[in-house]
Structure 1
Amino acid sequence: MPEFTLRKTMLFVEDIHHDGGPAPDLPRRRAAIAALVRNPFAGGYTDDLQSAMDDLKPLGLSMTERLIDAMGGAEGIDGYGKAAMCGEDGELEHTALWHVPGGYAMRARLGEAKAIVPSAMKQGGPGSRIDVPLGHINAAYVRSHFDAMEVGLPDGPRRDELLFVLAMSRGGRIHDRMGGLRVEDVTGGDGLR
């Protein structure tokens, strides 16, 4: 069993009160949680990585709980996304370890979430930033929720670390007006519409 030793976590909470035009009735909240862990696969090639996803499930669940708390509770959360970054001695496939533990933790905790969790992966070093894509939790075609939240930590990921990120939002972009499927028209049957 690989050891993903947790070095630190960081929460980011953003309340958008204005974005040109008239001020919204309520600010839009976006939040993300990032975790830096030791990458047990750094510096070498390991053929079987998939089984290690199970080892990360407790981290995904605890990060999800903390993120929901930062959002002020699960009610009204209608957007989510995830991202991962490996340090210099890692490989991009190591970031794919986050697909199941990150995505399924949020989907399970948010209940009826049917849409795939948007994802981004990259390699970088300390201070590197990553744009965490956001999408509607029940219908991937809801354009008002196409968004991203930039996240990064000044001291990671180090050469032998992985940065795992989860993000959530409440409401679409302020003044969205690009058409497409509207939230009130979502059927939620297939995760697309």
Structure 2
Amino acid sequence: MELHVRKWLTVVEEIADDGGPQVNPPLRKAAVAAVIANPYAGRWSETLDELTEPSGKLAVELVTRAKEALGVEAESCGKGAIVGVSGEQEHGVACLTTPFGDALRDGIGGNTWVTSNTKVAAAGTTIDIPLAYKKALFVREFYDTVTVSVPDGPRPDEIVVIVALASRGRVHSRLGGLAKADAKGDGLQ
């Protein structure tokens, strides 16, 4: 099975300060969105294999493009989907399950659960893609978001599938919690 991609969108952000002293290196965030046809738009199906099975291949391409846009090593990641109004939220979730998550982790050297967000909405709607540290979920300094919007997507019979990466934690993180240096395993214990 192949997913038909109508268009790609890339967003890059660089933050040197957020109201405090400048940091070096700055925080870089990149997100890449693929606008794909939804084979289940307007109809019910008990299984969603036409989205889950090819999702790993889509994730590989999204991660490749996001890493290139980021330009430095990815330290955190997230994923998301906006489903057009002729679909259902579960269609977006189907695009982001295990094959997608595994390909995302493999692509950036991660090993923990990948944060995500999905919703049904009209073209041009924004979505916040949550970010977390790629090796330990509970490292607080990495809790962040990347906001993405595709002006002409998703159309009612489409899904926007997104990978977001960041180069470091928040610019002025100073509220404690589990530190990157102290994280063990996947940070869940």
Q: TM-score range by the shorter chain?
A: over 0.9
Q: Out of 102, 105, 115, which is 2:103 matched to? A: 105
Structure 1 gap segments, 5+ residues each = none
| TM-score under structure 2 length normalisation | 0.94
- The match for 1:49 is 48
Of residues 127-136 and 50-59 in structure 1, the stretch that sits farther from structure 2 once superposed is 50-59
Q: Which amino acid aligns with 1:155?
A: D
Of residues 153-162 and 14-23 in structure 1, the stretch that sits farther from structure 2 once superposed is 14-23
Q: Out of 119, 123, 132, which is 2:120 matched to? A: 123
- The match for 1:190 is 186
Take 2:81 and 2:112, find their aligned partners in 1: how far apart are those partners?
19
Q: Which amino acid aligns with 1:103?
A: G
Q: Which amino acid aligns with 1:93?
A: E
- The match for 1:32 is 31
The offset of 1:191, in angstroms, is 4.3
Of residues 14-23 and 160-169 in structure 1, the stretch that sits farther from structure 2 once superposed is 14-23
Take 2:82 and 2:90, find their aligned partners in 1: how far apart are those partners?
10
Asked if 1:177 is matched to 2:174, the reply is yes
The offset of 1:147, in angstroms, is 0.7
Take 2:36 and 2:144, find their aligned partners in 1: how far apart are those partners?
26
Matches within 5 A, 1:80-159: 80-99=77-96, 100-111=98-109, 113-159=110-156
Aligned CA RMSD, in angstroms, stands at: 1.4
Matches within 5 A, 1:2-81: 4-50=3-49, 52-73=51-72, 75=73, 77-81=74-78
Deviation string, structure 1 residues 14-40 (Cα, Å, up to 9, x no partner): 000111111112211010000101100
Take 1:62 and 1:121, find their aligned partners in 2: how far apart are those partners?
20
| TM-score under structure 1 length normalisation | 0.92
Deviation string, structure 1 residues 5-61 (Cα, Å, up to 9, x no partner): 110001111000111111112211010000101100000100111463122222111
Are the counterparts in 2 of residues 28 and 170 from structure 1 also a CA contact under 8 Å? yes
Residue 67 of structure 1 aligns to a residue whose secondary structure is helix
Structure 2 gap segments, 5+ residues each = none
Moved over 3 A (4+): none
Take 2:131 and 2:143, find their aligned partners in 1: how far apart are those partners?
6
Take 2:154 and 2:99, find their aligned partners in 1: how far apart are those partners?
19
Take 2:99 and 2:30, find their aligned partners in 1: how far apart are those partners?
18
Deviation string, structure 1 residues 119-142 (Cα, Å, up to 9, x no partner): 000001110000000000111111
Percent sequence identity is 39
